[in-house]
Amino acid sequence: MIVRMRRPNLGEEAYERLRALLLDSDRYAPGAKVNVIAVAQELGVSRSPVWDAIARLESEGLLEVVPRHGVFLVRFDARRLAELFETREALEGMAARLAAERAGLADVAALERSLAEQQACLDAGDDTGYADAALAFHQAVLRIAGNETIGRMLEALYAQTRTMCRGRPTTREDLSVRRDDHAHLVAAIRDRDPDRAEAVARVHVRSLALAARCFPEMPTSEGRSP
């Protein structure tokens, strides 16, 4: 069903909806081709705002425009993924440090509620729910840190790593370890210990990077240029 978008914010809404379509559905695998005409029809707009949205998403590293071949969701690339995690480690370490310095009682309580939600998802065997709760946890830490520049950069990195790793296996033990890492970070923030918070965040991201490097290579989507 085509849902017409509000005209005053057409460009911004096209960007937000296309970004959500790429991130929040299983329609596109890493490296998959994006049909611009079909997307425009689905969003109920002309191709112009869709191309504007594509340009923004390409600058964020989520899409790749290949001349004479088309538009593709970012594909899995082991070296690029390693660079993304290196950058995430530095930025998330600083965000954790700032959060430990700036968190109030209400902030800590919100993080503790997030931990409980993550555990509930694990107990229920809801891997998708856990992934969403874990992302929300990281975003909550960013809000507490209060640095918009770091926040924007990390949101783009989250989108890229989440997309590159889509469909790749994760064990329940891995998820439990990640939840425990989050608990250690909350404890450091609660104790107002910036050094420990940064160290915990950095170790956590390193463990994510190590797990990503253990993933086997997956073939790129058909129709993609070499």
pLDDT, tens digit, 9 for 90 and up, residues 134-186? 999 999 999 999 999 999 999 999 999 988 888 776 788 889 999 999 999 99
Where in the chain are the domains? 7-73, 78-213
Q: DSSP class of residue 193?
A: -
**Same fold across 7-73 and 78-213:** no
**Distance between CA atoms of residues 22 and 17, nearest Å:** 9
Task: Please say if the pLDDT value at position 220 is more than 80.
Answer: no
Supply 161's token pair.
């790593």
Quick: pLDDT tens for 98-120.
Answer: 999 999 999 999 999 999 999 99
pLDDT higher than 70, residue 204: yes
pLDDT digits (tens, 9 = 90+) for 71-94: 999 988 889 999 999 999 999 999
> Cβ(73)–Cβ(32) under 8 Å?
yes
- CA 218 to CA 215: how far, in whole Å? 9
* Domain 78-213 sits in CATH 3.30.450.20: no
pLDDT of residue 166: 81
Q: Domain 7-73 adopts which CATH fold? A: Arc Repressor Mutant, subunit A (1.10.10)
Closest to 189 (Cα-Cα) out of 143, 155, 158: 143
In tens, the pLDDT along 38-71 reads 999 998 898 999 999 999 999 999 999 999 999 9
Residue 25 pLDDT class (50, 70, 90 cuts): low
Average pLDDT value for the chain: 88
